[in-house]
Structure 1
Amino acid sequence: MEFRQMEYVLALAEERHFTRAADLAGISQSGLSSAIRSLEDELGTSLFRRTTRRVEPTAAGLALLPHARAMLDEAAQARDAVVRVSRTVTGSLRVGAEQCLGLVDVAGLLERFHRRYPLVETEFVQSGSHELVESVRAGGLDVAFVATTRHLASVRHVPLGHEPVVLLTSPAHPLAHTDPTWEQLEGQDFVDFGSSWGVRTLNDEAFAAHGVTRRVRCSVNDVHTLLDLVRRGLGIAIVPQHVAAKPQAAELIRHSLHGASVADWTVSAISPRQDRADLPAGMLLELLGESHATAESAVTAGSTGVQEPVTAPEPSPVPARAGDLAQ
């Protein structure tokens, strides 16, 4: 059993979906499939039950999970221990992030940074992406994790990933079981995030491009509040795909969005251009790079593997069917 295989097992157990697990692990879907099958051959048993829509751990897979987590935790602690005794780092680090980014575990990253550099005083704030970009540009933050592509030319930015946005409705909404067009969204009541959130700008631009007017009846700054308001019928919402997969959205109906004017939701790490690699901010980004390494050798090694039948995100985690929002 190899270290990377344990990462893949945990990613697949968490996502229950080969495409999303591959994105999480930084490997091609075929590479992930090949690595899992190789491990199953080595152990002589199936670790996951595969269907065309979902993947579930078998009893053997569930038995492996705690050991896989322990192996990765011990490896991370070993690396941090070596760095801690070989690189004495002091100073301060100011970090910001938009809530619930999905593509990066900010809390886990800060935990590892603190464990590796315990003498660095770390401050963390949550805010909307546009406010975070301005704070980095003004020198108020050393690193920020944002979900916008606006005004990034003046800062260093490293894209961490992207995903589509989807439309959420309550089961009782008139559009819940139809295939709504953009024109059918004209005048609908919406729940959306505040103006400083990246997804709000993305939504506003998409509606403007399609010439559709909407009413934002509820403006929030919390993901779970948004989902609760949609569930209670106070409006419909457009959110990043991973938000629609949250347990709190299980009762909601998800519709795919189509059209050239619908841009992907993109997450990036940003920092001032004058930042140095030997300062805490540079070291945080270095640690982030370790966590998000693409593992090209693993992709190459798995390129001949058989691809799993699931080649796109499953239509919806909820029982009712999802409609496609046509142009």
Structure 2
Amino acid sequence: MNLRDLKYLVALADHRHFGRAAAACFVSQPTLSTQIRKLEDELGVTLVERSPRKIMLTPTGQQVAERARRIVGDVEQMKEVARRSQDPEAGVVRLGIFPTLAPYLLPHVVPSIRRRFPQLELLLIEEKSDQLLARLRDGRLDAAVLALPVHDEQMHAEPLFEEPFVLAVPDAHPLASRGSITLDALTDQRLLLLEDGHCLRDQALDVCHLAGAAEKSGFQGTSLETLRQMVAANVGVTLLPMLAIQPPVAESPDIRLIGFDDPQPPSRRIAMVWRRSSAMTGFLQALAQLFAALPAHLLTLPRAD
């Protein structure tokens, strides 16, 4: 048994297809298939259920693959310790970020990251929060920018900033003329929300429960931009995170944005999360400081002209 074969098994577990797994490992399909067979012979068990249309891991195969993933991850961590001891600010960092934050935050922080760490190769992975956490746990990500809370004792969460929500309404809506509102104004409102799996949906539902609002039935958006267009089309109202309304995002003349004037206005707490066992902790703390240095004006409602 060698590390290469374990990597092949992990790739097969991820892709569930010999051809795609082989391509991910930069080997031919027969090579990968042969090595998986040898691994099965060495262990004396069947790891993979093979059929013409679908590849599945056996229950034993799944357990072996998860252990293999941890072993491969530990080896990569050892390599990372050695490399960063020579040049802590260079190399590859795999950073995850969720879809309702990534396109709105990254334009404001990536330039400063490039200036501060010119030798760094930052690989950005945009995915829903639960998938990012899964990738963090098995070593496929070095860190992720997530909304708190994160319930995992193996993870360290470094707070970055608190992002307020604003209410987006059509320009003809009864609330459109209000300069600000309290949560009570949402009572009996029906909000447009994202589909299941987006953390912003859960955050918006929490606000709805506090305010006595509810979800508008018959519609679930796939992105913030979809929600924005639906509001502009006078379909309903929605909550938008503050960064999603800041330049370079274009203003919409058909939408009015209203801030909250509560003692504790609705918001989400953003943090950078990484494994407590990570060999990159010192560097990731420095990287987190750049995200936390977001200019304060980006977290406030722009003044109306």
Report sequence identity in percent.
20
* Residue in structure 2 matched with residue 98 of structure 1 by the alignment: 98
The superposition leaves residues 53-103 of structure 1 with CA deviations (integer Å, 9 ceiling, x where unpaired) of: xxxxxxxxxxxxxxxxxxxxxxxxxxxxxxx9x628887543211233555
Aligned length: 215
**161-170 or 139-148: which moved more?**
139-148
After TM superposition, give the deviation of residue 160 of structure 1 in Å.
Answer: 1.0
* Residue in structure 1 matched with residue 211 of structure 2 by the alignment: 210
* Residue in structure 2 matched with residue 165 of structure 1 by the alignment: 165
| Aligned AA (1:219) | Q
| Preserved contact between residue 275 and residue 282 of structure 1 (Cα < 8 Å) | no
| Preserved contact between residue 203 and residue 268 of structure 2 (Cα < 8 Å) | yes
Change in CA separation of 1:174 and 1:125 when aligned onto 2, cut-off 3 Å: same
Q: Aligned runs of 1:1-327 on 2, under 5 Å?
A: 87=87, 93-99=93-99, 100-101=101-102, 102=104, 105=108, 107-108=110-111, 111=114, 115-117=118-120, 123-151=123-151, 153-178=153-178, 182=183, 185-215=186-216, 217-246=218-247, 247-251=249-253, 252-259=255-262, 262-277=265-280, 283-289=283-289, 292=292, 316-319=302-305
| Aligned AA (1:156) | H
Q: Per the alignment, in what secondary structure is the counterpart of residue 250 of structure 2?
A: helix
Comparing both chains, which one has the higher relative contact order based on Cα–Cα distances under 8 Å and sequence gaps of 6 or more? 1
| Aligned AA (1:283) | F
Q: Per the alignment, in what secondary structure is the counterpart of residue 193 of structure 1?
A: coil
Q: Per the alignment, in what secondary structure is the counterpart of residue 196 of structure 1?
A: coil
Aligned CA-pair RMSD: 4.0
Structure 2 distance, partners of 1:201, 1:134, is 19
Structure 1 distance, partners of 2:163, 2:176, is 22
Q: Per the alignment, in what secondary structure is the counterpart of residue 95 of structure 2?
A: strand
Structure 2 distance, partners of 1:113, 1:284, is 13
Structure 2 distance, partners of 1:284, 1:273, is 11
Structure 1 distance, partners of 2:182, 2:117, is 49
The superposition leaves residues 207-260 of structure 1 with CA deviations (integer Å, 9 ceiling, x where unpaired) of: 223343332554334333332222122221111223233443342212222446
After TM superposition, give the deviation of residue 156 of structure 1 in Å.
Answer: 1.0
Change in CA separation of 1:216 and 1:167 when aligned onto 2, cut-off 3 Å: farther
Change in CA separation of 1:212 and 1:231 when aligned onto 2, cut-off 3 Å: closer
Structure 2 distance, partners of 1:312, 1:125, is 23
Change in CA separation of 1:207 and 1:89 when aligned onto 2, cut-off 3 Å: closer
After TM superposition, give the deviation of residue 187 of structure 1 in Å.
Answer: 4.9
| Preserved contact between residue 147 and residue 269 of structure 2 (Cα < 8 Å) | yes
Structure 2 distance, partners of 1:184, 1:289, is 36
* Residue in structure 1 matched with residue 10 of structure 2 by the alignment: none
| Preserved contact between residue 194 and residue 220 of structure 1 (Cα < 8 Å) | yes
| Aligned AA (2:250) | Q
Find the structure with the greater CA-based Rg: 2
**223-232 or 158-167: which moved more?**
223-232
| Preserved contact between residue 147 and residue 265 of structure 1 (Cα < 8 Å) | yes
| Preserved contact between residue 103 and residue 267 of structure 1 (Cα < 8 Å) | no
| Preserved contact between residue 192 and residue 215 of structure 2 (Cα < 8 Å) | no
Q: Per the alignment, in what secondary structure is the counterpart of residue 151 of structure 2?
A: coil
After TM superposition, give the deviation of residue 282 of structure 1 in Å.
Answer: 5.3
What TM-score, normalized to structure 1? 0.52
What TM-score, normalized to structure 2? 0.55
